[in-house]
Chains A and B, each alone.
Chain A
């Protein structure tokens, strides 16, 4: 599975878009980019995943660069409840294991 690199922490104002970057320069062609988040004292929560195309769901948008070496998770209108650690994970098509790094600690400020 591809190694991912994320900034250790970020801040964002409530109501603004939170853009969380992830570098995965060694990602292979069949590896997906997954995003999970972990709110304090809770289990990780799936957010979104993608392969090549940009993806959007009710929680977030995922923008993957054309060369697939990096991606950005976008929370369009961040709320205080979005304060959490966000994990970017590369996972092979047939792999089941999730390998969590240190993630980005996102703090939404009022």
Chain B
């Protein structure tokens, strides 16, 4: 299995531009997570989906951020407009939630997208 795939791996953009990050979860996994990592705040959960439905988006910083999961094999995280403080590494992770047995699930992380907003 190729693991979680994220694209692009690096993104440099200017303030005000729209940024779209993409994630392909591991085939067969039904949960998908978006995290952001910065030196100041560490690794934070932004949002997660179960069966393509957003379950908890309380970590999304503000309305400039949006995430979608149109099908089981693809998700996007969009920032519009981007700001310099959005510069971070964004990780996508997936897992196979087994209903009540979720305690045993393992999250598999992608390689991350390094975003720099100038």
Chain A positions near chain B (C-beta within 8 angstroms): 32, 38, 41-46, 49, 51, 87, 91-102
Contact = CB atoms under 8 A, between A and B. Distances in A.
Interface stretch (B12-20, B61-69, B71-79, B95-103): B95-103
A91 B103 contact: yes
- Tell me which of B42, B43, B56 has the highest count of chain A C-beta atoms within 10 A of its own C-beta: B43
Given A43-B111, A45-B109, A94 B45 contact: no
B42 A98 contact: no
Interface of B: 4, 31, 33, 42-45, 48, 50, 55-56, 91, 93, 95, 97, 100, 102-112
Nearest to A30: B103
A38 B37 CA distance: 12
Contacts of A42: 109, 111-112
Contact of B91 (A43, A49, A87, A94): A43
